[in-house]
Amino acid sequence: MEQDSDQLSILRHSASHVLAQAVKDLFPEVRLGIGPATADGFYYDFAVKTPFTQDNLELIENKMREIAAEDLPFKRQAVTKEEALKIFKDLGENYKIELLGEIEDDKVTLFQQGNFIDLCRGPHLKRTGELKAFKLLSVASSYWRGDEKRESLQRIYGTAFAGQDELERFLEAVEEAKKRDHRKLGRELDLFSFHEEAGAGLVYWHPKGMAVRSVIEDFWKAEHIKRGYELVSVPHIARGNLWQVSGHYEFYRENMYFLNTSNGEYVLKPMNCPGHILIYQRQRHSYRELPIRYAELGTVYRQERTGVLHGMFRVRGFTQDDAHIFCAPEQVLDELVAVLDLAAFMLKSFGFTDYEIDLSVRGKDTTKFAGSDAQWQNAEENLLKAIEARNFTYRRVEGEAVFYGPKIDIKLLGALGQGWQGPTIQFDFNLPGRFGVNYTGADGKPHPVVMIHRTVLGSMERFVGILIEHYGGAFPVWLAPVQVKILTISKKYAQYAREIYLRMRDAGLRVELDDRAEKIGLKVREAEMEKVPYIVVVGEKEEISDTVSVRSHLKGELGRINLEEFLQKLQSEIENKA
């Protein structure tokens, strides 16, 4: 499997070189950026005066097919850095010259096919003719080196596979993903919006979106209270010195928003943990009180680069389903296992059974992380024991830990198999030491607390976005913003429809009434487009028999049903989260 993955990466990286050659052949004035393989395909960045269009993509793709048909060999050349600099200066490729300036070795490698040459380590396919199944997908803006202060570039995305069947399956999945895109469905279903005039990456929740979010939050709160958590809430800002003590100034400053006031510097909180620590420290705690579990649906703000913002999945202001557990060292493993159990329960309740688990640890550059080697090893061992206690399959990922400790990341799989961050469990030996967070042991002496940070959904914004795509906007009845929509065949039955509406509303259902003087076919189509789980149609027969004609969004016509029987069916589905 690993070899197949490597071969696919080589294929896609080779395709990016063919893409760059095609662009240079068609648009000689273009300057080259970089072109790596990705998890789903490849891309190449170009500096252009006029942005590429969809027509350009078709032209470029046809040119790529010509280059593939020429069956050109990929030729590797090892040259001195001085020789490479001359080549790219003659070509006017200033971005390649910049990259060369960062290479310490005296020797570099170039790859050439036909009249195209590029700075690259390789490896590549032997010949362009091996590239048979590929497709250009889209074009987007990017920045050189991902830095918003640098030049704006055009990025062309594509994908490539070993065979046409695989490519076609992928393209079908892409089309399905487009239909399920939470940004598209969020607009169509009137769930949320973004407003550039108010600031990028900030979500505005509409009434229907808030209905979904409120159901999730109520369920979350009830389940946490049941499992021994206490709900807290901390302010959105705090003095700058609090974040100096926590270490965020040193390790996280570039992601923080600062407020300079007449009373000194304040920070718009990027995390909730220092606030929870202050609540814990308001009094001394005995070992008999531990573990103490504080939970909060806390909104935080992080200064993400514009280029990485992505709908609800990557925003600048979001609400974490946050919690912090203060415990003694001997309680750590039990608490970690309990959090994994809670996370698995929550995900299953929302219909997720397919996810990946990463054990995220320090990378080779340990200067970016706080704490000693012994602390990191102990923390990693505890997280690993918790994973193994539940027989979860996982992978170890270098360099993805947070600065104060390693973590378990659970990623929910999207329509294209991409992982979106969901629950995370973080072991922290840093903040308790920085804040002097202790408990009184059986010996009457203070002992350092172990602190566990965790979310079991992630952020509300991202989780709702994932839910939208998971269900294609057709939420199960317990989550749906509108659970039932009542439609009248004509105005004559408006009173009966109103009575049903009130009975359903009083039963706690989220229900809407459409008694407009429109044709029933139109009203049914509109309700179907809104993906309402159940449509109730009332007319003469229904009024006489005290029944309703029910249509399920997923199953179609269910026929005429006694109203009380239908209400019981709905309540059962809601209680069972069907």
* Band of residue 2 on the pLDDT scale cut at 50, 70, 90: very low
Least confident of 134-138, 358-362, 460-464: 358-362
The yes/no answer on whether domain 484-576 falls in CATH 3.40.50.800 is yes
Domain 2-167 fold: Threonyl-tRNA Synthetase; Chain A, domain 2 (3.30.980)
Better-scored residue on pLDDT, 533 or 306: 533
375 catalytically annotated = no
* 224-243: average pLDDT: 96
Q: Which tokens is 319 given?
A: 């609400």
Given a contact cutoff of 8 angstroms between Cβ atoms, the answer to whether 32 and 118 are in contact is: yes
pLDDT value of position 378: 84
The active-site residue out of 63, 182, 302, 462 is: 302
Q: Would you say residue 418 has pLDDT above 80?
A: no
All structural domains of the chain with their residue ranges? 2-167, 187-471, 484-576
Least confident of 74-78, 212-216, 490-494: 490-494
Count CB neighbours of 551 within 10 A.
20
Measuring CA to CA, how many Å separate 274 from each of 47, 242, 428?
44, 7, 12
Measuring CA to CA, how many Å separate 425 from each of 215, 305, 407, 458?
24, 25, 5, 10
| Torsions phi, psi for 97 (to 5 deg) | -65, -40
pLDDT value of position 414: 65
pLDDT value of position 278: 96
The active-site residue out of 273, 462, 531, 553 is: 273
CATH superfamily of 187-471: Bira Bifunctional Protein; Domain 2 (3.30.930.10)
324 catalytically annotated = yes
* 159-174: average pLDDT: 94
pLDDT value of position 1: 30
Which residues 6+ apart lie within 8 Å of 294 measured at CB?
229, 230, 231, 232, 276, 279, 280, 323, 324, 326
Measuring CA to CA, how many Å separate 14 from each of 34, 135, 310, 415?
12, 13, 28, 26
* DSSP, res 405: B
pLDDT in tens, 81-120: 999 999 999 999 999 999 999 998 889 999 999 999 999 9
Q: Would you say residue 268 has pLDDT above 50?
A: yes
Length of the chain: 578
pLDDT in tens, 530-542: 999 999 999 999 9
Better-scored residue on pLDDT, 56 or 354: 56
Q: CA-CA distance, 431 to 410, in Å (whole number)?
A: 23
* 49-58: average pLDDT: 92
Q: Which tokens is 431 given?
A: 């903040």
The active-site residue out of 63, 208, 224, 324 is: 324
The active-site residue out of 17, 155, 314, 453 is: 453
pLDDT in tens, 358-386: 998 887 777 777 777 888 888 888 899 99
pLDDT value of position 4: 59
Q: CA-CA distance, 55 to 178, in Å (whole number)?
A: 20
Q: Would you say residue 417 has pLDDT above 70?
A: no
Given a contact cutoff of 8 angstroms between Cβ atoms, the answer to whether 461 and 203 are in contact is: yes
Residue 433: name the closest of 355, 370, 510, 352 by CA. 370
For tokens 């606030």, the residue is 275
Least confident of 35-39, 251-255, 428-432: 428-432
322 catalytically annotated = yes
453 catalytically annotated = yes
pLDDT value of position 375: 82
Given a contact cutoff of 8 angstroms between Cβ atoms, the answer to whether 87 and 108 are in contact is: no
* DSSP per position, 266-331: EEE-S-SHHHHHHHHTTS--BGGG--EEEEEEEEEE----GGG-BTTTB-SEEEEEEEEEEE-GGG
- Kind of pairing between the strands at 450-459 and 484-488: unpaired
* DSSP per position, 250-280: HHTGGG-EEEEETTEEEEE-S-SHHHHHHHH
* DSSP per position, 432-478: HHHHT-EEE-TTSSEEEPEEEEEEEEEEHHHHHHHHHHHHTT---TT
End-to-end CA gap in the chain: 36
pLDDT value of position 363: 75
Least confident of 162-166, 246-250, 266-270, 271-275: 246-250
Residue 84: name the closest of 119, 35, 114, 115 by CA. 119
Better-scored residue on pLDDT, 150 or 71: 71
The active-site residue out of 322, 358, 409, 514 is: 322
Share of the chain above pLDDT 70, in %: 98
Q: Give me the amino acid identity at 166.
A: E
Residue 41: name the closest of 170, 154, 215, 153 by CA. 170
Residue 70: name the closest of 18, 20, 120 by CA. 18
Q: How far is CA 70 from the centre of its chain?
A: 41
* Band of residue 173 on the pLDDT scale cut at 50, 70, 90: confident
Q: How far is CA 418 from the centre of its chain?
A: 9
Q: CA-CA distance, 391 to 388, in Å (whole number)?
A: 5
* Band of residue 28 on the pLDDT scale cut at 50, 70, 90: very high
320 catalytically annotated = yes
Q: Would you say residue 403 has pLDDT above 60?
A: yes
The active-site residue out of 320, 375, 421, 426 is: 320
* 443-449: average pLDDT: 94
Q: Name the 3-class secondary structure at 414.
A: coil
pLDDT value of position 3: 37
* Band of residue 438 on the pLDDT scale cut at 50, 70, 90: very high
Q: Give me the amino acid identity at 393.
A: T
* 237-263: average pLDDT: 90
* 23-49: average pLDDT: 95
